[in-house]
Amino acid sequence: MFELTITPALIALTVIMIMCLIFILTGVNRYVAGIRKYSLNCSTADKEATEGSDGDVGFPAVSIIVYACDDDENLETLLPQLLEQDYPANTEVILVNDGAPAGVDEVVARLKSRFNNLYMTFVPDNSRNLSRRKLALTLGIKAARYDVVALTGGCCRVPSSRWLRSMIRPIAEGKDITLGYSYQAIVEIDDENKMRYTSPLSLWKSYDTLRNDAPYLAWAIAGRPYRGNGFNLAYRRSVFFNNKGFSKSLNLKYGDDDLFIHEVANRDNTSLDLSRYAMVAVLDSDPSALFRRSKLHYAFTAKFLPAWGRRLFALSTAAWWITFCAGVALSLLGWPSVYPLIAAVVLWLVLRLTTSLTWRRTSKTLKLPFGWAGVLFFPEIVMLHPIYSLYYKIVGRKHRSANFTWS
């Protein structure tokens, strides 16, 4: 049992496992860990700047554009959060309503007695053959009085009073665009801003969300921004108008901000803010439905975006499968000796523990539930993810025409 005959096959399989382990640990894991480090650095810098009273920063006046669609219940909480931001310059909130106006009218009427910088407009009912969200944002940006706009949604919560200050600071320092982050579709936020997990599949959704977000966050940190989050985004109006708004993607219903940021963002004009003060929570009465819609929309629009990050993560998943298969083959070919089995198990455990712990720490930073269950089942989640994603691609193809405005 302890005698081992070393053969070229055993050497090759061991080398393959080691090479895959190195690729995963120094490739994808490095990017994922970098997101957490960047987020902590952003939070530290934001806190230090705020404690220093931002003495040298001249903050511009800001128009906050809120796209709402039947979100009257949440607007009762969201609008005061926006109107009471700790921000040193003038602000206004422009609510663009794309739904039944009755409930929203009542909310806005109550709040207008307290705030004179709250305004509301509507998306015309007869607007059909276009993206209503694109139209709503265009209306809001054109109506804005100030040269900088911050975008969010009626289904959001802004837990921090420093959100606007944090998002606009890079623009005040010379940038044109600030990319923010929002966490969504996995948990509900109660009235005390505490997270409540709503599904036993929260772990799977958490991994999937981070896997989709990590590439664009990592590339933005590296100075190659190519996606944006419409629930948490700020830029100068001149960027919007110089690009002729969403004119290049008017044929598409979804992916507004992804495609827009891909068109206008670059290393010099864009900053990413991942501080905990700048994060926004996205709520929905049915989180599972919101998650499904987001998956289907992105499955379609992703093909219009650069594939660098997605390919790297796809190669990482392939490396997991290769490592697993090579470990099984190494154990079988080396039997009855237990040394190949021990080597395979050790390499697999090293990969499993280091990777799952890295993802767990970053998930926690980005407000995504992961927990120790994620550490326990991480390899299975990673290896089955391509099958899960393929399902959404197949479903998306069946309803492909729904993604175009001409349908």
For 337-355, how does the pLDDT look when each residue is reduced to its tens digit (9 = 90+)? Answer: 888 888 999 999 999 899 9
Q: Write down the pTM of the prediction.
A: 0.86
Residue 206 CA to residue 196 CA, distance in Å, equals 14
Backbone phi, psi, residue 252, to 5°: -110, 140
Greatest mean pLDDT among 8-17, 101-110, 379-388 lies in 8-17
Percent of residues, the chain, with pLDDT higher than 70: 86
Q: pLDDT at position 168, please? A: 94
Comparison of pLDDT for 170 and 104, the residue scoring more: 170
Which residues make beta-bridge pairs with 163? none
Average pLDDT in the 95-115 region? Answer: 83
The length of the chain, given as a count of residues? 407
* Residues in Cβ contact with 97 at an 8 Å cutoff, skipping those fewer than 6 apart: 68, 69, 104, 120, 121, 122, 123, 154
Residue 309 CA to residue 219 CA, distance in Å, equals 7
Angle between helix 308-334 and 202-221 (nearest 10):
120
| Site of tokens 């691609």 | 393
Q: pLDDT at position 181, please? A: 92
pLDDT at residue 185 greater than cutoff 50: no
Between 140-144, 236-240, 384-388, the lowest mean confidence (pLDDT) is in: 384-388
385-394 own/partner pairs: CB under 8 Å, 24+ apart = 385/207, 385/208, 385/211, 385/317, 386/314, 386/317, 388/204, 388/208, 389/299, 392/295, 392/296, 392/299, 393/299
Angle between helix 287-301 and 202-221 (nearest 10):
40
Q: Which one, of 42, 39, 277, lies nearest residue 162 by Cα?
A: 277
Confidence of residue 375 (pLDDT cuts 50, 70, 90): confident
The tens digit of pLDDT for each residue in 54-63 reads: 555 689 999 9
The tens digit of pLDDT for each residue in 66-83 reads: 998 877 788 889 999 999
Comparison of pLDDT for 272 and 314, the residue scoring more: 272
- Residue 50, classified by CB atoms within 10 Å of its CB into exposed (0-12), middle (13-18) or buried (19+), is middle
Q: Evaluate whether 399 touches 246 at the Cβ level (below 8 Å).
A: no
Residue 229 CA to residue 98 CA, distance in Å, equals 19
Q: Which one, of 82, 399, 406, lies nearest residue 234 by Cα?
A: 82
